Structure 1
Amino acid sequence: MNFTPNFQPKNIVASIENLVEKGLKVVALAEQSDNWDSVITPIDEFESELGRLTSVNSHLNATMFSDEFNAEYEKTLPIITNFYSDISSNKNLYQAYKNLKNTKLNKQQQHILQESIDGFELSGVGLKGEQSKRFKAIKERLSLLSNKFSKNSLKATNEWTKVVELNELIGYGEVELAKIKIDKGYELNLQMPVYMDVMTYLDNRALREEVYRAYVSRASELGITSADFDNKAVMDEILSLRTEMANILGFDHYAQLSIESKMVESVDQILEFLSNLVGKSKSQAQAELNELAKFAGIELMPWDLGFYSEQLKEQKFDFKKSELTPYFPEQKVLEGLFSTIENLYQVSLHQIDEPSYHDDVRVLEITKNGKLIGKIYLDLYARKDKRGGAWMADYQPLQGQDKPIAFVVCNLNSPSEGKPALFEFDEIVTIFHEFGHALHHVLTKVKYACAAGISGVPWDGVELPSQYMEFFCYERDVVTRMSEHYQTKQTLPDNLYNKLIESKNFQSAMGMLRQCEFSIWDLKTHLSLKDTYKVLTEVRKDTALMPSIKDSRFLNTFGHIFSGGYAAGYFSYKWAEVLAADAYDYVNTQGGIGSQASLDFLHNVLETGGSQEFMASYEAFRGEKPGIEALLKANGITT
């Protein structure tokens, strides 16, 4: 049993080629077989073996990027894509799967089998001749374009820096200054922790504008970065190929193809859902913006929103966001997170001393009654060679003697000048969110890798466990456990906690509108042949409360859609947020953390993974389908 990832991969092209050759032999035997153990089991086991290698390669390319490794990594993408294309278009294997419907299977197996058959059909198994060849070529090209988009975004982000003097940083406190201190002054960059500080605290409006313009024009023809990193042509080709792929399969557009594998029933259903949220949020959002404009006393521009929002929030609730930060040093935050997980799900979580791919990475073990359940590799800090954002990636599923392993990655500030890393509360919410994903993967009880953890879960269900976890980090007992002033050692006092809760839904309707805008744009850009920026302009007529600057090219680094798997599925965040708010509201009324209801969520949602219809899992936990009332209540939106 290998329970430690190999973070020193050598000859990754040859390794992938050898594994693929082995996989083709596995498939050849499976397509001639007639029972579960000789058809699905060997393929499931092989795909887990291949998945471990591809997961490590992808992970290192995202967290330890180098041109040398990326060049080899890119060579593996067509090999992997072509292998899966060969499997999904293998008519003999497809027939072997269909023949299993006439054998005796348990309910989990029946569900997995039907999902697999549906997957064959959505992957072009029925295509012939030139159509089949073209479909395969499209998938290969898309894998390369996705990596190119991500690489361009990373390099464009890293290319911009600006050295500034201390007198240009009025508004910054010790914590913010520590993040950008260099030998000869201070250096701003476009890494998320630094960028957000500029937008939130920097009094210098001209400098805020300069940083904002650099940020939203990354990887575009307007950016100050190299033209080699312009992603627009990459985006256009991705969208064109997705449309062609959908058309080949008989769909009108890619949004239809995407919806086929999700819980929702149609594009129209989700557009109606999003329009409903826009309608219920817009008037309150406009009132929030009017309040902000009146407070600022100037014509607001995009680089003003974060700064004046923080000032207004400070006035309304009599505290600064930065007042919270000293109370949340990294180690104490993690202790509070771990204890919350332990109390929610009756497990133990602790750090172990084990080497990893970078000194920053913590290795965590989850156990129950002394027995190992799984492992999480936690990579918290921002680095120049690391892709932006936060995510969870699964390395190894529960299979046989192998325990689940997950990677959790964030881009937060690191310790500096003898101080521990101090986290803003929004960053703590992000950590809880990603651990929700990791727990979904690690706590599974499903013994079929293709349906264990997040595998086999529809994309609009994947975000439920992560968004559900977010709610708990606002509870008083949880905040107490994860707060300790790094100097005074005092926990967060009641007056600051109360102000945090009072301000939790500050400008929540504006935030709701923004997320709905992204989701509607994403769907409409995948059901139209129009230029994606023209689609955005049309969508913003209904969702935007203030104009965007003409130089904004933020879509050029929108990795969720162009390299992160959320294409025509960004709505999943809002759809799952309905489930999460409903779930938390229910658990809270039934006793909260440690109650039977919280264990019911574990047993019926986390442990069952993709082994049955996801809504059936939710209803088994909740007793009924969710409504949007809890979501609106959680966001403080009154209708």
Structure 2
Amino acid sequence: MRTLCACLLLALCAAPAAAQAERSLLDFGLTAEALSKLCKNAKTSAEARLTALAFAKPDFQSTFVEFQEILSDLQDYTSVPQFLGQVAVDKTVRDAGLACDTEISKYGVEIYAREDLYKAMKAAADRGELLEGEDARLAEKTLLDFKRSGLGLPAADREKLKGLRQRLVELANDFTKEVSETKDHALFTEAQMAGVPADMLKRLTKVDGKYQVSLDYPDYYPFMENAKDPGARRVLETKFNLRGGEANKKRLAEVLRLRDEAAKLLGYQNHAEYVLEERMAGKPATALAFLSGLREKLYRKGRPELKALLALKKAEEGAKSDGMLHAWDWRYYHNQLMKKRYQVDKQKVKEYFPTDLVVEQMLRIYQEVLGLRFSEIVPAQAWHPDVKRYEISDSRTGVRLAQFFMDLYPREGKYKHAAAFTLIQGRVLPDGSYSKPVSAIVANFDKPAPEKPSTIPHSDVETLFHEFGHIMHQTLTRAKYQRMSGTAVARDFVESPSQMFENWVWEPALLDRISGHYLDRSQKLPKDLAAKMLAAKNADSGLIYLRQNFFAAYDMSLHTAAELPDTTALYAKLMKEVSLIPMTEGTMPEASFTHLMGYDAGYYGYLWSEVYAQDGFSRFEREGLLNEKTGRDYRREVLERGGSRDEDVSLRAFLGREPSDEAFLRNIGLNLKTAKKS
């Protein structure tokens, strides 16, 4: 650690050799004081090097490449300190890590606001050097990053843009806080709670003999899925979709106005055009056409599903039924359908997925598919004794490629969700060697106990395969520059590889392989239970994906509108047209639609990436789920490439054709040849 700090204090210190870097950058034993000092020194070093760059010879190597080296070193030196903010055992270290994360994030914004750096890049670009491939892409993307930060605008406009963005941050924080701090609830009688699970009834507070049901997810969703009384469901659904209220409706209107103003200041027609410039879709018209085309196909499955749910409603309510599936009805009747038609016992399924067995088989499957070998490194020298460490090498050549850590069990203060973190990014170092990537997968599965091993629900098996897909995307990269390395791809594509790898946990042959009852591993998931799971997977998928399509269409409509619309009226119109289920009168759901703050003009990406994920999987379906040649092709054309070329080029190279949504539709149970147009 001392060697690293000394190096960082040298303003123009070159990147260390790969072996030394790997040792020094992966120091998980930092104290809070040492971590803070390391973070500060990394920033000091970067600042000195950036200042020198501004006066450097204006050519590609001295500006664009050096700029990339400085940012890459900064990221590599501070990734572990920032990561410790999420996983360290010592709270003081976590706090120091989070502070480092905040400091480096703010510094990143400051860097792209520097006019001296932009002028140096522009001068180098104006020389007209002949650049190709990743070099040309680096220059283009770097200049675009500065342009999108306001460089190139007159000083007064830059200052105005800065003010707009500061105000937008405030509004987004206030919008989210308003929703998260909502403490409303409803009171229901014993009769109104009919159908609600007994375990929920036991934990609810009673007020004057009535049950208090909050708007928090652990209360709201079980109630909406199980409460038989439609009047009670309507009361809670109305309250839920009034979160944020008029205050957030006003905030949203101001956010939309300021985003539009900022986009126009930068030369874009609207905020969506600004956002999609860096996405795979490229422009709003492409995203809107994608949503519209997909929607028309989804109607063929969604409309019959709606009729089936209405039939359930009529059977339950009889003559009292109004023949409409309301917003307070659909979760309830979907749940009734699941219970009556599929009868999947999730707790029983969970018994067949011991965590250690699932992890072991998952690692084997990934090795077989992608032509890899994972070797455990002992001791792991990690941040906690539970953490395991592996080296990745090519199964044919034995060449060492990367490393990853696995931190799968919960503990106090640890990051609460499942995620993949990059610790060292792949890139070509100044000495010509390749920096071996290092990543960490973090999850929170039940820890094994002497009397019972850890088991996980099938949904967590899917999550594990998903997050490990990100690990493969991060660690198998061979991109030249950190700016395009690993998962540094278009945001509407970044989930696609990991979504593709989820498919393996739904294949009957592989379900048999990754399952084994915790009392007797030779007892695989029963075929009848697996069949029910697979059948239930696509229940009401047409309606579910139409709902996603609606959210995406609403988001895109808000950010392409020539004039600011009434956000509630637009929500009501599109919800009925697209999702087929009407908005409840008197509500304003957009006031709690927090995706509009942070995923703005990007909601379509959920569907976009999934369509391409299923298209990629279609080749494995055709050539073999464990076909190493197919896996190596995917590794070479998609995973190794990262963002070093356009994502659609990588997909076409792997598929050997233009991408299509046919595999996605087939995967959700829609056969266009047999489904009627409606």
Answer yes or no: same fold by TM over 0.5: yes
Query: 8 Å contact 1:101–1:110 — kept in the other structure?
Result: no
The structure that has the greater radius of gyration is 2
Q: CA offsets, 1:516-551, max 9 Å, x none?
A: 111111111212333544432232132132223457
For 1:418 and 1:123, how far apart are their aligned partners in 2? 57
Query: 8 Å contact 2:420–2:467 — kept in the other structure?
Result: yes
1:132 lines up with 2:158 in the alignment? yes
Shift of 1:68: 7.7
Matches within 5 A, 1:202-601: 220-221=244-245, 235-296=252-313, 297-298=316-317, 302=327, 304-349=329-374, 354=380, 362-368=387-393, 369=398, 371=400, 373-376=402-405, 378=407, 391-399=419-427, 400=429, 402-408=435-441, 422-455=455-488, 457-489=489-521, 490-528=523-561, 529-530=564-565, 532-549=567-584, 555=590, 558-563=593-598, 566-601=599-634
1:42 lines up with 2:74 in the alignment? no
For 1:637 and 1:279, how far apart are their aligned partners in 2? 12
Q: CA offsets, 1:153-212, max 9 Å, x none?
A: 66669x9999x99x9897759xx88x9899xxx999877678655655677989877876
Shift of 1:514: 1.1
Secondary structure of 2:426's aligned partner:
coil
Shift of 1:332: 2.9
Equivalent of residue 666 in structure 2, options 627, 633, 636: 633
**% identical aligned pairs:** 25
Query: 8 Å contact 2:380–2:389 — kept in the other structure?
Result: no
Secondary structure of 2:153's aligned partner:
coil
Secondary structure of 2:403's aligned partner:
strand
1:86 lines up with 2:113 in the alignment? yes
How has the CA–CA distance of structure 1 residues 446 and 100 changed in structure 2, closer, same or farther, with 3 Å as cutoff? farther
Superposed CA RMSD in Å reads 4.5
Shift of 1:130: 0.7
For 1:55 and 1:525, how far apart are their aligned partners in 2? 36
For 1:274 and 1:233, how far apart are their aligned partners in 2? 28
Code of the residue aligned with 2:360 in structure 1: it is E
How has the CA–CA distance of structure 1 residues 203 and 487 changed in structure 2, closer, same or farther, with 3 Å as cutoff? farther
For 2:31 and 2:282, how far apart are their aligned partners in 1? 44
Bigger mean CA deviation after superposition, 407-416 or 486-495? 407-416
1:615 lines up with 2:643 in the alignment? no
1:102 matched residue in structure 2: 129
Code of the residue aligned with 2:341 in structure 1: it is K
User: Number of paired residues?
Assistant: 618
Code of the residue aligned with 2:286 in structure 1: it is Q
1:225 matched residue in structure 2: none
Q: CA offsets, 1:589-634, max 9 Å, x none?
A: 1223233122101110000101112222112211111122222112
Query: 8 Å contact 2:35–2:96 — kept in the other structure?
Result: no
Query: 8 Å contact 2:53–2:117 — kept in the other structure?
Result: no
* TM score, norm. by length of structure 2: 0.77
Shift of 1:476: 2.1
Query: 8 Å contact 2:410–2:445 — kept in the other structure?
Result: yes
For 2:171 and 2:649, how far apart are their aligned partners in 1? 36
Secondary structure of 1:367's aligned partner:
strand
Code of the residue aligned with 1:327 in structure 2: it is Y
Secondary structure of 2:279's aligned partner:
coil
For 1:355 and 1:207, how far apart are their aligned partners in 2? 55
For 1:602 and 1:129, how far apart are their aligned partners in 2? 46
Secondary structure of 1:520's aligned partner:
helix
1:3 matched residue in structure 2: 26
Secondary structure of 1:593's aligned partner:
coil
Secondary structure of 2:112's aligned partner:
helix
* TM score, norm. by length of structure 1: 0.81
1:227 matched residue in structure 2: none
How has the CA–CA distance of structure 1 residues 351 and 393 changed in structure 2, closer, same or farther, with 3 Å as cutoff? same
How has the CA–CA distance of structure 1 residues 493 and 71 changed in structure 2, closer, same or farther, with 3 Å as cutoff? closer
Structure 1: give runs of 5+ residues left out of the alignment.
223-229
Structure 2: give runs of 5+ residues left out of the alignment.
1-20, 206-210, 673-678
Secondary structure of 1:374's aligned partner:
strand
How has the CA–CA distance of structure 1 residues 11 and 367 changed in structure 2, closer, same or farther, with 3 Å as cutoff? closer
How has the CA–CA distance of structure 1 residues 340 and 301 changed in structure 2, closer, same or farther, with 3 Å as cutoff? farther
Shift of 1:48: 2.7
For 2:606 and 2:496, how far apart are their aligned partners in 1? 8
